Structure 1
């Protein structure tokens, strides 16, 4: 639980601190005294002003585009809210950056050093990377190899559901943390849950919580969250309900103006319209085309193999998931995996199964050029024709496909040489940075795997080609987010390539189309997928399961339609929560001092 303590920065200074002042001036009340007192007051104000400025910004200015609303949020959290703040900016405005600026400032002033960051499981490593690369703050993470527990480090990032396990919870509760940070804190909106009780028992001095939707469907959510940040602000729960919950409508809100006044001491909320950011549009072009006879035969052979040998036992479902994704990417991706299995690497195959894989390998070797390669070349030509320095990023999930893309670009005849830049997991961080610099300076095509989809911002480019599509919408958004973010000053063009009649086609049409995934922000997708996205692979396995269970093309379409209905239901719930937030916070004033 948050504890009362001295201010983050001591700005108090008065005459009592310097008892010799009056002695020095003889105690005479005259003009000299007045001048001296004014000088002392000026000194006091100068000291206070310097202590209430963000002093660490120079260290991070070359790594982050510091925006006014983010500086405002960090300053208010530190100096007006005494380190007890709920960051509730709308999606896409950089709440992670705001919290990072606060932590950097605390470390810079050498006053605080033990930080615990709790996030949903899928965001833990992303937070770790952002803290390191943007703020120079090293955090241990519970997903690190050799993680030694919460007693062993002063700065820790962890999945909240891992942290609340008995063995880890005991370690966390033994310590007093300088600051507790919780991302997506709306997951703690219900008192009495294991998560809430676990957090309530943590001892921490300062609290920095973040969510775009602090209220889901009931204004009491807000009471529960704020009570962890600043206990007692709203009085007792019954007092809060009496003031703000309509007796005849428990899911409504009353006296919202008074509620907002109380919230100003603890909550920071910027809306997109409050900022000077000019967000550009996304233009999405989906290219779905018929595979040729060879490609169709290969796809059907692989799909039949996956259905015949799929099993959840011994991790086989993960192996088959990879194979099914490879076959819609390129024949060379699936061939590389099959050849390894036939050579005895990674999977033992004998008898009829081996015969089927030999047939798959034969079909893959017969393909020399794919329809996707041809469609990609058409897009690249179009980009180069329309732009003085054409730039496009081509994403694929597989190294073998990456090699095939590069080969097709190199073999392009009758065109001026196109600079090709390559990034994949075999490159060091410095080597990746060098490739991106060359791409920025020379233009051309950056052919990359998803090893670059997080952590690097490439706003100088505004064209992305999804050569193959991750089945997880969040993974797609992470790709697009490299260029469609704050700082992009042109419309963003997203091209999606998919083979007609494949799982990739159904994902694109039935699922992504139903929730308009390519126009959702990453935060919006988090809201939509929050209940089902317990792990990064769960959504993809659900997609594969629909294919495995289908006995016919019609049944496959119905399975995906059912999944799409569930997603639309999730989206409606997310929109309702957003609308209720807007109602609760209508008229909430933003900006310091208002």
Structure 2
């Protein structure tokens, strides 16, 4: 008997609870399962992941990797767009099709537990974290830190294996071919390979060449021909030969280009005035007799963060002892930092969980002490912490503490969607760092609008960085997403290094302002030119 069933007429609940007593009922159940599978856009494994719904850009990425890139790709979505989910679905699909059994997953040590849990609970994949007590062959799917894997005797064991799949998170750590990380990973044998990074180009375009050489060796030619092509493309803006090749094995989704509805992002600047004593000290720093103004500007940045940051810098300097003592004594006489006090006051008024990012560990410790003095429970998080301590700090923040104080070095890989307030206590000179910070909370799974706050000291380098760098670049528009490509096209290896060089060579803050303003005008003009070219193509 022929039976046509409309999806709208199927009663899924009755199929789940009634016995399959006859052939017609069986056919209904089968057809329902097929409809469900088709609804998941022909990715077979999705029928085994009923609690997972892919966003459109994730589904597109999975399909491209599986059907066009043959399972070897760089997943380079912006921070927070769900690269781990994409990698998990790709792995699951290849396992369902019996194409993958033996898998090696290399991640920063602080992310091992996160990957193990995600694979087990979201994808029902029996991943196991590597422990020294058992050999690499003990489990089919092993999650380990690259720092452990590259050491002997582990590296020899791994290089003797033939893996079905290799996955590497935070793959920008492989950008330098001279490092042990790169040399080790490039020798691992695997049929399929995924590299995950939100910043495929951090400083120079060569980095994408080396990442591509792991995923698709030879695709970009040898190093000499690649550099020649890069030079030609800089001379001919219409040429897109490299971009075309890279797209064969790299997927980069930007938040502004996705069709998904993201929660909002509200920006607020909190202006603060130095006390009279602090501002007098700030101005005195300009008069320090050093060969380069970079030292002066560095100290001014530090005093804009905290007394402690500036104190430690002077204490560790190569100045003579008398000069050191004089300046350290001046710092000791300063009152509590105006920006720190304002931040504590603001955190109190929020009365919700909040992340504070600072550039300096000394400031991190000071802020924690000051928050404690005001009855606010906070935890710190930085790159020096061991994996277990990082996990503990995140759990304390999630369950008890109101505030997490992090440095950029410690913030890598943090997923903190349960928080929607972030204070940028210090502004980095590299806008990409700021976007990576925000991606810790404004990411896949965030259910609330996120609130981003700058704390800025008026009439200081703090305010100049805000005005020159962030307002000029209009950070929260599309330009930030294209910044890496724009810098590459201009031959600028690193915006941060470029600005540091300006600081180092300039004789005054006015000269710094003029030079930085010119640099950012060039970048902005290039962004406009790219927009015009895209619209006319």
TM-score relative to the length of structure 2: 0.64
Say if 1:558 and 1:400 are closer, same or farther in 2 by CA, change over 3 A: same
Q: CA deviation at 1:372?
A: 0.4
Q: Is the 8 A contact 2:176 2:210 kept in 1?
A: no
Query: Hey, what does 1:380 align to over in structure 2?
Result: 347
Q: CA deviation at 1:492?
A: 1.8
Q: Secondary structure in 1 aligned to 2:290?
A: helix
In the TM superposition, 1:313-352 aligns within 5 A as 323=299, 325-339=301-315, 341=316, 348-350=318-320
Query: Hey, what does 1:569 align to over in structure 2?
Result: 525
Query: Which of 45, 52, 67 is residue 54 of structure 1 equivalent to?
Result: 45
Please say which of residues 425-434 and 266-275 is displaced more in the overlay: 266-275
Q: Does 1:179 align with 2:192?
A: yes
Q: Does 1:202 align with 2:203?
A: no
Query: Hey, what does 1:510 align to over in structure 2?
Result: 468
Structure 1 alignment gaps of length 5 or more: 1-34, 118-123, 205-215, 230-265, 312-316, 342-346, 385-389, 584-594
Query: Which of 67, 72, 82 is residue 54 of structure 2 equivalent to?
Result: 67
Please say which of residues 105-114 and 434-443 is displaced more in the overlay: 105-114
Q: Secondary structure in 1 aligned to 2:452?
A: strand
In the TM superposition, 1:143-222 aligns within 5 A as 155=166, 157=171, 162-163=176-177, 177-181=190-194, 202=217, 217=238
Query: Hey, what does 1:238 align to over in structure 2?
Result: none
Say if 1:300 and 1:547 are closer, same or farther in 2 by CA, change over 3 A: farther
Q: Does 1:76 align with 2:63?
A: yes
Structure 2 alignment gaps of length 5 or more: 1-22, 120-126, 128-141, 220-236
Query: Which of 355, 371, 391 is residue 353 of structure 2 equivalent to?
Result: 391
Say if 1:491 and 1:74 are closer, same or farther in 2 by CA, change over 3 A: closer
Q: CA deviation at 1:513?
A: 0.7
Q: Is the 8 A contact 1:128 1:141 kept in 2?
A: no
Please say which of residues 485-494 and 87-96 is displaced more in the overlay: 87-96
* Residues 280-328 of structure 1: per-residue CA shift (max 9 Å, x gap): 22221123333223222433444554x71549xxxxx8x8886554222
State the distance in 2 between where 1:274 and 1:294 align: 50
Q: CA deviation at 1:381?
A: 3.5
Query: Hey, what does 2:290 align to over in structure 1?
Result: 308
Say if 1:54 and 1:303 are closer, same or farther in 2 by CA, change over 3 A: farther
The size of the alignment, in residue pairs, is 448
Higher CA-based Rg: 1
Q: Does 1:408 align with 2:375?
A: no
Q: CA deviation at 1:472?
A: 1.5
State the distance in 2 between where 1:143 and 1:533 align: 36
Query: Hey, what does 1:102 align to over in structure 2?
Result: 90
TM-score relative to the length of structure 1: 0.59
State the distance in 2 between where 1:267 and 1:425 align: 28
State the distance in 1 between where 2:485 and 2:110 align: 18
Q: CA deviation at 1:370?
A: 1.6
Say if 1:325 and 1:503 are closer, same or farther in 2 by CA, change over 3 A: same
State the distance in 2 between where 1:573 and 1:97 align: 35
Say if 1:565 and 1:356 are closer, same or farther in 2 by CA, change over 3 A: farther
Q: Secondary structure in 1 aligned to 2:100?
A: coil
State the distance in 1 between where 2:400 and 2:69 align: 48
State the distance in 1 between where 2:498 and 2:391 align: 35
